[in-house]
Structure 1
Amino acid sequence: MTSPRFELTAAFPVYLRLEAALAAGDWPAVEQFFATIPDDGMTVAVRVVAKVKGVEEFLRRVPPSRLSRLLLAARHIVHAWEIRSDKLAKHVSAEQFAGMHEQLRSAEAILIDLTAADPSDVLAWRERITVCQGLGLGQSEARRRYDRLARADPHHFSGQSALAQQLCPKWGGSWDSLHGFARECLDAAPPGSLCATVVAEAHLEHAHNINDKDKRREYLAGVEAELDAAARKSLFHPAFRPVPGWVEAHGVFAILSSWAGNPHKAAVHFRALGDLASDYPWSWCYKNPAAGFEELRSAAVGGNG
């Protein structure tokens, strides 16, 4: 078994073209990439650009367009969380929060214009859900933004994941509202789509908040049937295709199965992954994500991976 590879391009080398275009400052090549990437890869492509430090200066120099403005807004959002850091709120300074909110308000101003010009712009609405979360605009506003997105694309997996985060207790929601929405996603999910895996993300969020391992295992035993149903309708369905997000989804199920004490189920997901990993869920669940991945993989498949 080899060490896990966390870079997106390990699973999707096509994004190397986008990274190369950004490194070269080649805006026509960036535009061409977005013109040819399938819809199910768009959200990831936006995030690839937004994570490049300093890319905002490049985006301000290129000819103004819907794409350049969307990417600039997405960069503001990522920068906002870079300023905030991943510390608990009580450890974040007033200056950090001020800087974060300034970036989010800059993003919101751009995104309001984009969604006003095209109310069906799902990528802009997706970013506006994250802005809502960061600015603390509340559950009702987050749901309103998601509903506008869903009018254009009722099965937008990234948008569903974003709203699920907003519905978590840590963002002012509740377990009931989170799991209720996740089950709506499961029930409505097209066979073979990742939408059904929102259920797994919700249960991972809940299980992660249970510190006692025995109680966590008991919780996961109680939702095992629902998790199995989600896996059957998504990753294990004959119509499933490995679109962006599939590595994260297998990782979520692998962790849940491992925590539940079901290494045989976890093994199926680890074998599907091979040496592929992703920041989420591993960096969120483990201080050393590579070590966490290897520990659970070893317990599940041993030397037979």
Structure 2
Amino acid sequence: MRIFRRRKGERPARGTLIVGRAWKDVALDAAVEAVQEGYLSAGTVLLGETHRDPELRSLRLDALSRAAVGRSQAIAQLLDGDHDRADVLLWLGRTVIDEAWVIRGGSLAESVGEDRFKLFFATLSGAHDPLMEAARLRPEDPVPWESMIWLAMGMQFDRLEEDAIWDEVVSRSATLFSAHWARLQSLAAKWGGSHEEMFAHAREAVALAPPGHPLTAMLALAHLEHLLAEERRLVEENKVVAYVRFGLKYFSDQVVGELKDAERRWTAHARPHPRDVEAHHLFGAIFVREPTTHDLAARHLRQVGNRVGRGAPWGYLGDPAEEFAAALGRLRLPFPSDDDLLML
């Protein structure tokens, strides 16, 4: 039985929303479709264009690795060709990580069976050597080390080991968006960290972000993580009244103020960035939860066109397309088209 299944010609679209492609990169759209059809050379071409741009490199690696889930052995065969060896090893390692997480599933640890955990660990361990070799071949590249954060989380490295990996990232790129996202996850309570550690990291990211950089959206992500974790706990404890009160009281003047400050640090001087769409979704998702900030939520969600990521923020709440569509309805925004995004 095949673990990874793909219907021929499958596209990540639901109605007029395109799920799983939260970017403005038309070339990446084409490469993802090619890789899904088995034309892996399209992926090496796209990665080959990113050697001097870690932000673009990390985005394209994320997308191409998800597109290649179930094809890691075919990627490994590219090492025998004339492709850039560091690019292929990086892609191979990250694809193995994604394959492992598909095996594990997105559930909390207590709901994952022993046999599935064994297969998860066995698969995930295969990403270590390709990533370390990719890092050796391109010592200035932070992206292999970013991928190691996800490997370390899955393999349950201790904090000292995780901190050492993080040091490798920031010594090469202190503001890499996707690396800060991964680090925030590793510090979250659900992965053995705490709300305090997670928020400390998010606020440090805001302070590090140059004016006009979407890294400030890490604060929105931290608040979403906290909200959802506490709401989940209250539901599990059947504390309905406490659940309602928590939602009503969460957005204090202090919380709203720091979110607005972080948002302005980006948008007042915004420059084009590969992660713009994701950052707009994060700010839109947190601001839509508070009626007094619906104007800001609308401002951000007008910038994303019909592109929706599979995970945070909307995938945390349920079906990402349905949750995003519900947010648009709550804000009375028109349903977008792909042309809306490409014209921004």
Q: Is the 8 A contact 2:142 2:173 kept in 1?
A: yes
Q: Is the 8 A contact 1:138 1:172 kept in 2?
A: no
Deviates most, 189-198 or 280-289: 280-289
Identical counterparts, % of pairs: 23
CA pair 161-282 structure 1, distance change in 2 beyond 3 A: closer
TM-score by length of 1: 0.90
Partner in structure 1 of residue 173 of structure 2 = 153
Match of 2:45 among 27, 32, 46: 32
Q: Is the 8 A contact 2:328 2:334 kept in 1?
A: no
Partner in structure 2 of residue 5 of structure 1 = 18
> Match of 1:48, as an amino acid?
A
CA pair 112-26 structure 1, distance change in 2 beyond 3 A: closer
| SS, match of residue 115 in structure 2 | helix
| SS, match of residue 230 in structure 2 | coil
Partner in structure 2 of residue 166 of structure 1 = 186
- Larger helix fraction of residues: 1
Partner in structure 2 of residue 18 of structure 1 = 31
Partner in structure 2 of residue 133 of structure 1 = 153
Deviates most, 294-303 or 248-257: 294-303
Q: Deviations over 1:47-68 (max 9, x none)?
A: 2222123321221211351111
Partner in structure 1 of residue 75 of structure 2 = 59
- Aligned equivalents of 1:9, 1:214: Cα separation in 2: 33
- Aligned equivalents of 2:198, 2:312: Cα separation in 1: 18
- Aligned equivalents of 1:258, 1:11: Cα separation in 2: 23
Q: CA deviation at 1:270?
A: 2.0
| SS, match of residue 281 in structure 1 | coil
Partner in structure 2 of residue 270 of structure 1 = 301
- Aligned equivalents of 1:9, 1:279: Cα separation in 2: 9
Q: Is the 8 A contact 2:90 2:130 kept in 1?
A: yes
The answer for unaligned runs of 5 or more in structure 2 is: 1-14, 232-242, 337-344
Partner in structure 1 of residue 282 of structure 2 = 252
- Aligned equivalents of 1:54, 1:295: Cα separation in 2: 33
Superposed CA RMSD in Å reads 2.3
Partner in structure 2 of residue 49 of structure 1 = 64
CA pair 280-107 structure 1, distance change in 2 beyond 3 A: same
TM-score by length of 2: 0.80
Q: Deviations over 1:281-302 (max 9, x none)?
A: 2443222222211222111135
- Aligned equivalents of 2:208, 2:321: Cα separation in 1: 34
Q: Is the 8 A contact 2:16 2:306 kept in 1?
A: yes
- Aligned equivalents of 1:97, 1:275: Cα separation in 2: 36
Q: Equivalent residues in 2 for 1:182-193 (5 A)?
A: 182-193=202-213
Q: Are 1:286 and 2:326 counterparts?
A: no
Partner in structure 1 of residue 214 of structure 2 = 194
CA pair 94-5 structure 1, distance change in 2 beyond 3 A: same
Q: Is the 8 A contact 1:104 1:135 kept in 2?
A: yes
Counting matched residue pairs gives 301
Q: Is the 8 A contact 2:70 2:99 kept in 1?
A: no
Q: Deviations over 1:147-185 (max 9, x none)?
A: 111111111111111111001011111111111111111
